[in-house]
Amino acid sequence: MTERRGAVISRNTPENTAPRKEEMSMKKTKSISKNPPIRFNWQKNWQLHLMLLPGMLLLILFKYVPLNGILIAFKDFIPRKGIFGSPWAGFENFEYMFRLPDTTRILWNTLKIAVLKILINFPIPILVAILLNEVRGKHFKKSVQTIIYLPYFISWVILSGMILDIFSLEGVVNQMIGLFGADPVFFMGDKKAFVGLLVGTDVWKNFGYGTVVYLAAITGVDESLYEAARIDGANRFQQIIHITLPGIAPIVMLMMILNLGNVLNAGFEQIFNLYSPRVYETADIIDTFVYRISLVEANYSLGTAVGLLKSVVSFILIVSSYKLANKYSDYTIF
């Protein structure tokens, strides 16, 4: 009994408890170092915060200050009286918007064009990235990658001029069609052909960016998996199916989920620079409608109401897409 008591007492002696106190103090200092006070962080990194100041000012000036214009959607806006001096209209602009016969057509056109762009523009970059990854010539691979990536940096103002020349009645495309004895197609005035032209040119412009993203994901796949597959006798196609595609599956899912936030963005710059009144029936979208109503016809209240409705729906879609991305791909912004 005395030996056991002595053993218990020896465990609780000051000499043995001192290291424990030191460990506790070290843990506290580590927790403090991981989460330093805001004042300490500001004093230590004030130069970095100062560099952020111009960007924050521009963000507030051009993104938050204009939010006062949302009030125009709930007012009978008169430019002479200003936003705060114009009389209130409540939800009359929204009621009038839903009574318009063009509202349903515009919403349908926006969803149709945006969904077609997402569905067609989604698998092509994956396919091109896999094909480029199988190319062994480095110079050829880099050259092709640069060529397909270049249109992404060209604005629609420049590309629209090129597209109008190529697909005009006397353009290169109709000349090639004429070689087979077919009649020329008026792409810019044909309602159905114009939608296909919008989707095709958008894919041509943007698939290079997606290709670069998926190529970067493919390079992150463990090379030892390919070596093991080759030892087991797997050919190139089997390696793609069983190694490459599963390896980039998280990035593919992430890109697919994030594209949900762009369902109502059918591409204002592209359509505005290419369309004409002859194709309004199939190519007029929310953004072009807002532009005509607000700036051409000077109905600012109705245009703001339509734009606000689109912004609210887009915000819900973006938040939902990031929630799905966080749930299925462990992707977070903050």
Domain count, the chain: 2
Q: Are residues 24 and 160 in the same domain?
A: no
The pLDDT, as a whole number, for residue 236 is 87
Q: Are residues 127 and 14 in the same domain?
A: no
175 part of a folded domain? yes
Average pLDDT estimate for 141-162: 90
Return the CATH number at 179: 1.10.3720.10
CA distances from 170 to 52, 87, 193, 200, 235 (A): 52, 53, 16, 20, 48
The pTM of the whole model exceeds 0.85: no
Q: Are residues 126 and 204 in the same domain?
A: yes
Q: Are residues 98 and 226 in the same domain?
A: yes
**First vs last Cα of the chain: how many Å apart?**
59
**Domain, as residue range, for 166:** 91-328
52 part of a folded domain? no
Question: Residues 279, 271: contact at Cβ < 8 Å?
Answer: no
50 part of a folded domain? no
Q: Are residues 17 and 108 in the same domain?
A: no
317 part of a folded domain? yes
Distance CA 246, CA 227 (A): 16
293 part of a folded domain? yes
Q: Are residues 31 and 157 in the same domain?
A: no
The pLDDT, as a whole number, for residue 4 is 44
Tokens found for residue 122: 């989604």
Q: Are residues 16 and 153 in the same domain?
A: no
59 part of a folded domain? no
82 part of a folded domain? no
Q: How remote is the C-alpha of 204 from its chain's centroid?
A: 17
Q: Are residues 183 and 266 in the same domain?
A: yes
Tell me the Cα Rg of the chain: 30
31-35, 44-48, 117-121: lowest mean pLDDT where?
31-35
Q: Are residues 116 and 219 in the same domain?
A: yes
Query: Given a cut of 60, is residue 17 above it in pLDDT?
Result: no
Q: Are residues 123 and 232 in the same domain?
A: yes
| 211-263 per-position pLDDT tens digit | 999 998 998 888 888 889 889 888 888 999 989 998 888 888 888 877 877 77
Long-range (24+ apart) CB contacts under 8 A made by 317-322 are 317/260, 317/261, 317/263, 317/264, 318/261, 320/260, 321/257, 321/258, 321/259, 321/260, 321/261, 322/258, 322/261
Mean pLDDT of the chain: 82
46 part of a folded domain? no
Q: Are residues 5 and 103 in the same domain?
A: no
44-48, 114-118, 152-156, 293-297: lowest mean pLDDT where?
44-48
Query: Given a cut of 60, is residue 36 above it in pLDDT?
Result: no
Of 295 and 329, the structure prediction assigns the larger pLDDT to 295
Q: Are residues 7 and 150 in the same domain?
A: no
Distance CA 138, CA 11 (A): 67
